Structure 1
Amino acid sequence: MNIFRLAGDMTHLFSVLVLLLKIHTIKSCAGISLKTQELYALVFTTRYLDIFTDFISLYNTVMKLIFLGSSFSIVWYIRRHKIVRRSYDKDQDTFRHYFLVIPCLVLAVFINHKFTFKEVMWTFSLYLEAVAILPQLVLLQRTRNIDNLTGQYVFLLGAYRALYILNWIYRHFTEPHYVHWITWIAGVVQTLLYADFFYYYFQSWKNNEKLQLPA
C-alpha cells in the first residue's frame, strides 16, 4: 500500500468520524442529506459482497466493516433516533436519489470488466459512489449556511477521492499493466462534482468566514 492510498483511506475514515461526532455528540443531523447517506449504504453493501468469502488482509476487512457499519448507523440515526431525526430537514432534502440508482445499475450491466453478479455489483457501486454526493451538494446549496462539522465532512469526502486519484496515478507508473478505466473515470467524475464546493470552502478558510454556497 502506498502513501496516497493510506492517506485516502484515513481521510475517508475521518470524514465518517466527523459526521458520527456531529450526530452522536450534538444530536443533530442538520444540513446532512439522508438521501446521500442511503446511497452510500447501498454503495458499500454492493461493493463488499465478498467480505465473508474473499480475505485480502485484516486491514481490508476491518475497513470494510467500518464503512458498512457506519453507513447504516448514520441512516438509522437520521431515520429512527428520536432526537436526531427532529433536526432532519426533509423539506429541503428532496433530491430524487432513486433516479441515480437505476441509470448506474443499467450502466454497470452493460459496461463492466466481467459479466458476473459480483463484478456487476462492484461496478455499480463505483458508478453510484461517483454521484452519491449530489443530494448532499444540492441540500447545501439550498440551505446555504453550513456549520463547521458539515463543511469538514463534505471536504474530507472530496479530499479522499482526490487522494485516490493520486494513488491511481502512482500505481500506474509503478505497477506493470495497471489499468482500470472504469474506476478512474468514475473517480474523476466524483472529484469534479466537488470542484465548486472546494472553491467556496477554501475561500471561506482564506477569509476566515463562515462557509456559504451560492443559491
Structure 2
Amino acid sequence: MNIFRLAGDMTHMFSVLVLLLKIHTIKSCAGVSVKTQELYAIVFATRYLDIFTSFVSIYNTFMKLVFLGSSFSIVWYMRYHKAVHRTYDREQDTFRHWFLVLSCLLLALLIHEKFTFLEVLWTFSLYLEAVAILPQLVLLQRTRNIDNLTGQYIFLLGGYRGLYILNWIYRYFTEPHFVHWITWITGLVQTLLYADFFYYYFLSWKNNKKLNCQLNFKIFDARKP
C-alpha cells in the first residue's frame, strides 16, 4: 500500500466520522441528503460481498466493516431516529435516486471486465459511487445553505477521491499491468461532480463572509456618537 492509498482511506473514514458526529452529537441531518446516503449504503453492500469469500488483510477487512456499518447507521439515523429525522428536509431532497440504481445496474450488466456475479456487482458499485453524490449536490443547490460540518464532510469526500486518483497514477508507473479503465473513468466522473460542489461551497462561504462583514460594519457604525 502506498501513501496516497492510505491517505485516501483515512480521508474517506474521517468524512464519515464528521457526518456521524453531526448526526449523533448535534442530532441534526439538516443539509444532508438521505438519498445519497442510501446510494452509498448500496455501493458498499455490493462492493464488499467478497468479505465472505476472500481475505486480503486485517486492515482491508476492518475498513470494509467500517464503511458498511457507518453507511447503514447513517441511513437508520436519518430515517428512523426521531430527533434526527425531524431535521431532515424531505421537501427539498426529492432526487429520484432509484433511477441511478437501475441505470448503473444495466450499465454494469453491459460493460464489465468479467461476467460473474461478484464482478458485475463490483462494477455496479463503481458506477453507482460515481454518481451517488448527485442527490446531495441537488439538495445543496436548492437550499444554497452549507453548514460547516456538512461542508467538511463533502470536502473530505472530494479529497478522498482526489487522493485515490493520485494512487492510481502512482500504481500505473510503479506496478506492471496496472490498467483498470472502468475504475479510472468512474473516478474521473466522480471527481468532476465534486468540482461542482466546491464551486457552490465557495459561493456559500463567500456569501456568509460578506454577511458577517456587513453585520460587523453595522455594529461598529451604531457605536458612533
TM-score (norm 1): 0.94
Partner of 1:122: 122
Large movers: runs of 4+ above 4 Å = 202-208
Q: Specify the code of the residue in structure 2 equivalent to 1:161.
A: R
Return 5+ residue gaps in structure 1 as ranges.
211-215
Identify the structure with the greater helix proportion.
2
Partner of 1:91: 91
Partner of 1:180: 180
Mapped to 1, the partners of 2:62 and 2:153 lie a distance apart of 21
Mapped to 1, the partners of 2:198 and 2:103 lie a distance apart of 27
Partner of 2:7: 7
The 3-state SS of whatever aligns with 2:50 is coil
Return 5+ residue gaps in structure 2 as ranges.
211-225
CA root-mean-square deviation: 1.5
Partner of 2:29: 29
Mapped to 1, the partners of 2:13 and 2:79 lie a distance apart of 22
2:194 corresponds to 1:189: no
Mapped to 2, the partners of 1:185 and 1:100 lie a distance apart of 17
Cα distance 1:139–1:200, how it changes in 2: closer, same or farther (>3 A)? closer
Note the C-alpha offset of 1:209. 2.7
TM-score (norm 2): 0.90
The 3-state SS of whatever aligns with 2:146 is coil
Partner of 2:109: 109
Alignment of structure 1 residues 46-85 onto 2, 5 Å = 46-85=46-85
Note the C-alpha offset of 1:205. 6.1
Note the C-alpha offset of 1:208. 7.8
Mapped to 1, the partners of 2:109 and 2:203 lie a distance apart of 41
Q: Specify the code of the residue in structure 1 equivalent to 2:78.
A: I
Note the C-alpha offset of 1:97. 0.1
Partner of 1:213: none
Partner of 2:138: 138
Deviations 1:114-155 (A, max 9, x none): 000000000000000000000000001111111000000011
Partner of 1:168: 168
Partner of 1:148: 148
The 3-state SS of whatever aligns with 2:49 is coil
Note the C-alpha offset of 1:201. 3.4
Note the C-alpha offset of 1:206. 7.9
The 3-state SS of whatever aligns with 1:89 is coil
Cα distance 1:85–1:19, how it changes in 2: closer, same or farther (>3 A)? same
Q: Specify the code of the residue in structure 1 equivalent to 2:180.
A: H
The 8 Å contact of residues 145 and 204 in structure 2, kept in 1 or not, is answered as no
Note the C-alpha offset of 1:202. 4.8
Q: Which entry has the higher C-alpha Rg, 1 or 2? A: 2
